[in-house]
Structure 1
Amino acid sequence: GMPLTTTVEDRERFPVRLRYPRELRENPDELAKLIIPTATGAQIPLGDVTDITYTRGAQMIQSENTYLIGYVIFDKVEGKAEVDVVHDAQNVLNEKIRNGEMLLPKGVSFTFAGNYEQQARAAQRLAIIIPISLLVILLILYFQFKTITASIIHFSGIFVALAGGFILLWLYGEPWFMNFDIGGMNIRDMFNMQPINLSIAVWVGFIALFGIATDDGVLMGTYIHDAFLERDPQTMDEVRETVVFAGKKRVRPAVMTTATTLIALLPVLTSTGKGSEIMVPMSIPTFGGMVIQMMTMFIVPILQCWWREGVIRKKEKQQAKITDYENI
């Protein structure tokens, strides 16, 4: 309706509007029958001089922070992460605004919301949690072995496992990987193999991997350390014999430790029910990292031998200097 006048109630003013009865203004056909006077005094239906159409408007007016708000919903392209899609959309819109192809009226702005915001906040938290987790693991190793060198040797298993996790993530996106049938069942279909983006679930899987990636190294290194305390080797050959002796004793326990973890993850990797979209990406880096980190049962003894041989060389050099000094 049109405002005709304003009424004053105490200190407040209210507009007075004139409207037709609801039964006359709800139906466009009824409005077209409305009689209006012409300049000559004749009366004709409103439908003779105008077209009345019905346009569906906003069903709800929403506001946030005292600003009117409208939502534009769009989906991501298959195979792309939500964060990447939002960044691409932001770049496109900002480029069009800079080029003048899109003009924003005064007081109008846009922002992206939804799962993207949750992932952005989670990424900020993970940027703090992951370094803290690595530092805690390194401290635990130091409390166990009491030396920085031994702690770093066993901590190196984390980097080996990290590489394994990324390798398996890459293989999941390759169509040739595990693309064969066993008993009429395609292995890729059974394990739901498809490109995996670096989502929050994947990084949580890496954090879990960091906690168990040093198991084989610690198992091997602890026994080697005890063997050195028991045998107290004084030559290069004795050091190597001690490392080989201790390493052979712990190969089978290390393999069993890794095998139990891998077997336990198989039902998760093949799951298809509710929650699998979170659990599968979380278990992929753990599975791949544990497969590759079996190398630590060979890497740790080699690094231990190299470190112990360095100690022997240092002692021999010091002894040689003392001998030369006594001869002088």
Structure 2
Amino acid sequence: MDANVHFDHEKYHLEWAGTFENEQRAQKRLAVSFLIVMGIMLTLLIANFGNSRQALLVLGVVPLATLGGLVALNIRGETLNIATAVGFIALFGVAVQNGIIMVSNINRLRGQGLPLRETVTTGALEQFRPVLMTATVATVGMLPAALATGVGTDVQRGLATVVIGGLGIATLLTLYILPTHYLVLERFVEKRAANKPAAEEA
């Protein structure tokens, strides 16, 4: 516009308004809402697990769930807008819920005095079907909205696509990668705790 339209800038100015202005305003509000949601999630997870390492472990599902949602949007040819951003927030809730289910069950078994590797293996196997069922129900429930092509379905199609694509990646991460990282992290913490008294005595 500046290159092709010449006018006196002292008397006139350009301002993009209407739908574009509303979109920009909504994006700013959504960014603030997203930060608040992530902060509340982290606080509640720390309160639930009693430590920050497991809380951050569960929240580690969020970036890959985001990747899955973005890939799904790209494949479907959908745009990243306010509706899809709301879909991401819903996706984060389901993904974190599955992570909580997995880690809480492993912690419960660990409290029974089982060895760490056996605890992780047993806990992951016990929660395989519940986690898979949660993700499957959410995915199947969103399919009609994701496949809709009628007038006025643009908003729901993008939102549903994000949830379906993100849950696919997040579920695989929760079932296989999360228990593995739990094992590595807790083994490191146990070794560090065992070496600390020895170092103090020395």
* TM-score over 0.5 for the pair: yes
> Aligned-pair RMSD on alpha carbons?
1.9
Q: Give the unaligned 5+ runs of structure 1.
A: 1-92, 173-194
Pairing 1:203–2:91 present: no
1:216-244, CA deviations, whole angstroms, 9 ceiling, x for partnerless residues?
2111101000011112x5xxxx2112111
Percent identity over the alignment is 26
Q: Distance in 2 between matches of 1:106 and 1:167?
A: 46
1:88-121, CA deviations, whole angstroms, 9 ceiling, x for partnerless residues?
xxxxx11235xxxx23497444433221111011
Q: Report how far residue 153 of structure 1 moved.
A: 0.6
Q: Is the 8 A contact 2:143 2:160 kept in 1?
A: no
The structure in which a higher percent of residues are strand is 1
- After TM superposition, the structure 1 = structure 2 runs for residues 51-66 of structure 1, keeping only pairs within 5 Å, are none
Q: Report how far residue 130 of structure 1 moved.
A: 0.9
Q: Distance in 2 between matches of 1:291 and 1:261?
A: 11
TM-score by length of 2: 0.91
Pairing 1:129–2:33 present: yes
Q: 1:315 to 1:114 in 2, by over 3 A?
A: closer
Aligned to 1:119: 23
- After TM superposition, the structure 1 = structure 2 runs for residues 70-89 of structure 1, keeping only pairs within 5 Å, are none
Out of 138-147 and 269-278, give the one that drifted further.
269-278
Aligned to 2:175: 297
Q: 1:319 to 1:204 in 2, by over 3 A?
A: same
Q: Report how far residue 150 of structure 1 moved.
A: 0.8
Quick one: which of 102, 109, 112 aligns to 1:227?
Answer: 109
Q: Report how far residue 164 of structure 1 moved.
A: 0.8
Aligned to 2:55: 151
Number of aligned residue pairs: give it. Answer: 201
Q: Distance in 1 between matches of 2:194 and 2:13?
A: 74
Q: Distance in 1 between matches of 2:52 and 2:10?
A: 61
The structure in which a higher percent of residues are helix is 2
Q: Distance in 2 between matches of 1:298 and 1:271?
A: 32
Q: Which runs of 4+ in 1 moved over 4 A?
A: none
Larger radius of gyration: 1
Q: Report how far residue 248 of structure 1 moved.
A: 1.0
